[in-house]
Structure 1
Amino acid sequence: MTMKILVIEDEQAIREMIVLFLTQQRYDVIEAFDYQSAVKKLEENPKLILLDWMLPGRSGVQLIQYMKKTPKFATIPIIMLTARSAEEDCITCLNAGADDYVTKPFSPKILLARIDALLRRTYEQSSSILEIDGLILETESKRVRYQNNEINLSSTEYKLLLFFMQHPEKVYSREQLLDFIWGNQIYVEDRTVDVYIRRLRKGLAPYHLDRYIQTIRGSGYRFSNRLWE
């Protein structure tokens, strides 16, 4: 199956370069140039979005916020493309719900590697169901439920929870989580793990499940339904 990618970029030259390159890589590419056209293109069910921060109408961050509030768009993986390279800008994007962050100018090959890695970890197939104390993760449909309540998570938050539920009671360092979740071919800062841990805890907090993600001082994180001293 050909993966459909939505490229949202207001600079025509950059947008056309990305579209041409991805088309050559046999991706099905659709495009938008501003906030309103992007909202319409979401209805075409893209499997991944490349999103510029600065858009006519509203910002890319505001588009992410709209998507996270809309269930049918909430789990589409997003890579933010922007000339902003400051650490606080990266954190802003990740906290808003972006799954990755690429600064301009960028190498098309590096962008392709990030796209492929994000698609793999988002859409890898499995038929199992994981369950811990009523927290249910369905890997085939990529749904997370607790007592008939669906928990909306981003693709990276889902991937992190999946890894934790597959490896309960074990302590993993930030470096190990980076390697397992993002892969050793992609450079991501250690602090990125902390950002996604906070976001995952926030998603689980309404059901008092955030306590299962335990911080082990000086070592990393552990997923456990046991109370520890």
Structure 2
Amino acid sequence: MELKGKSILIVEDDPKIRNLMKIYLENSGYETYLAEDGEEGKKAFKEIDPCFMIVDLMMPKLSGEKLTEWIRNEQKSEIPLIMVTAKSDEKDRIAGLQSGADDYVTKPFSPGELVARVEAVLRRTVHRCNKISYKGLTIKPFKGEVTYKGESIALTPNEFKLLYKLMRHPNQILKRDQLLDEMYPNHEKTVNDRTVDVHLVKLREKIERNDDITFIETVRGMGYRFVSF
């Protein structure tokens, strides 16, 4: 089960805590977005369509509890969500969970524990996260959508299958026959594994928009890998 590459929206009004969470989550392989209050959180939720949220309970303009209720009730979203707060009373924890949070973390907390909590919630709710993102490239497998920095990219069915296979296994070398099986599960021996090369050339042309970024790397004599860093 691949949990990395998930986009996380952090809604926290304390800049030190917000940036600390960002550093630890990105070092653990997640893509992060930041919002300073509940209203910014609503806007970011609509624009970014994140895979996971960390929401502070006490914030200006709109509380974390109200933001979570808006996400669950008005947006009808089941996005995995952790509530973070300085309040440790049982009634506050219950209120946070009843508003729709999947877990509750009290301040002060260890950044390492927060990452572990995120991963624990994701393992339980990964089916609710239809998205993998790296360096601005996003694939939504169930919707059949691929975007780069918000711009839609049209792929053929085989290009989409290849990209999804590679992004599910970031930084791992995949052999041509593994990628061929992804495109043609019951393929005949007459299907040449060099077919993969042809599709990947076209895929690269579509997703690698400039010379500064490489998503798919050729490993000579071995295969291909998706570069996530």
In structure 2, C-alpha distance between the alignment counterparts of 1:55 and 1:108, rounded to whole Å: 20
CA-atom RMSD, angstroms? 1.8
Q: 2:74 aligns with which of 70, 74, 87?
A: 70
Aligned position for 1:11: 14
After superposition, give the CA deviation of every residue in 1:185-229 in whole Å (9 maximum; x if it has no partner): xxxxxxxxxxxxxxxxxxxxxxxxxxxxxxxxxxxxxxxxxxxxx
In structure 1, C-alpha distance between the alignment counterparts of 2:113 and 2:37, rounded to whole Å: 25
Three-state SS of the structure 1 residue aligned to 2:83 is strand
In structure 1, C-alpha distance between the alignment counterparts of 2:51 and 2:14, rounded to whole Å: 22
Three-state SS of the structure 2 residue aligned to 1:98 is coil
Mapping for residues 36-115 of structure 1, pairs under 5 Å = 36-43=39-46, 44-71=48-75, 74-115=77-118
Q: Identity across aligned pairs (percent)?
A: 40
Aligned length: 126
Runs of 4+ in structure 1 displaced over 3 angstroms?
none
**Which is higher, the Rg of structure 1 or of structure 2?**
2
Q: Answer 1 or 2: higher relative contact order, Cα 8 Å, separation at least 6.
A: 2
Could you state the TM-score of these two structures normalised by the residue count of structure 2? 0.52
Measure how far apart 1:62 and its partner are. Answer: 0.4
After superposition, give the CA deviation of every residue in 1:21-40 in whole Å (9 maximum; x if it has no partner): 11111100001001221011
In structure 1, C-alpha distance between the alignment counterparts of 2:82 and 2:75, rounded to whole Å: 19
Paired residue type of 2:38: Y
Aligned position for 2:122: 119
Aligned position for 1:200: none
Q: Which runs of 5+ in 2 are unaligned?
A: 129-140, 143-229
Three-state SS of the structure 2 residue aligned to 1:69 is helix
Aligned 8 A contact 2:24 2:115 in 1: no
